[in-house]
Amino acid sequence: MDYNLYNTVKVLKKLSGSGNTVYLSSGQLAEELNVSQQTASRFIIELTDGKYIERTLQNRKQKITLLEPSLDLLYSELNELNSILEMRQDFELRGEIQSGLREGKYYISQEGYMNQFRARLGIKPYPGTLNIKIYPEYENVLRRIRSADGIHIDGFKDNERTFGAVKCFQGRIDGTAAWLIFPERSSYTDIVEIISEKFLRRDLNLNDHDRLTIRVTLDK
């Protein structure tokens, strides 16, 4: 992304505080960015067209809401700075177990995924996923993890069906190795899918609605 647009996203987030919405005129934004009002308006239009923000007009001001790509951009930058500064990034996620749509076994069992899990993760995962709904107070931590590079698993096509690329992050649940997997192209969700060599529900005696803690360390 162009630096000026990135800086505009950063300023909008600063102005929005703990939320992701801010009310301001293009003149006010121009002052914050130290550019002309015409330039500030152009930045807003480009960010809107790029689906980074959503804009509506209200009483001579603009209601600007930062969308998921903007937040991903900021968290990616944060992760990159931590990596450059060689800062250890240890995270803890907490949530509760939920039943999925029982599609995990189908997707994980695909040879196109299984071969890559063996080669890149060094595991042959149990054919299924453990789904965790992350508590709201840990959503910023979840965004940090999702925005990191992780280990890339290529998408592929099999029997005329397309399977998307995913990225994986190693973690631990009660000392047991597990991998968090995220589709590389999807909207934000507070549900985390986890794979492991073990049948986690059975081996850790887990049931729906049990509370769970996942520990993740990102590589420097």
Domain boundaries, the chain: 3-66, 89-218
Length of the chain: 220
Close Cβ partners of 122 (under 8 Å, ≥ 6 residues apart): none
What is 3-66's CATH number? 1.10.10.10
Please give the pLDDT value at position 101: 63
Q: Which of 3.10.129.10, 2.40.30.30, 2.20.70.10, 3.40.50.1370 is the CATH number of 89-218? A: 2.40.30.30
C-alpha closest to that of 219 among 139, 148, 122 = 148
Close Cβ partners of 217 (under 8 Å, ≥ 6 residues apart): 88, 89, 90, 91, 170
CB contact at 8 A, 153 and 165: yes
Please give the pLDDT value at position 220: 53
Helix (H, G, I), strand (E, B) or coil at 6: helix
Please give the pLDDT value at position 132: 95
The mean pLDDT values, 10 residues at a time, for the chain of 220 residues are 90 91 93 95 94 88 92 89 82 91 81 95 93 94 90 90 93 95 83 95 94 86
**Within 10 Å of residue 196's Cβ, how many Cβ atoms?**
21
Q: 65-85 as b/e, with b when 16 or more CB fall inside 10 Å?
A: ebbebbbebbbbeebeebeee
Name the region of 160 (left: φ>0; alpha: ψ -120 to 50; beta: rest): left
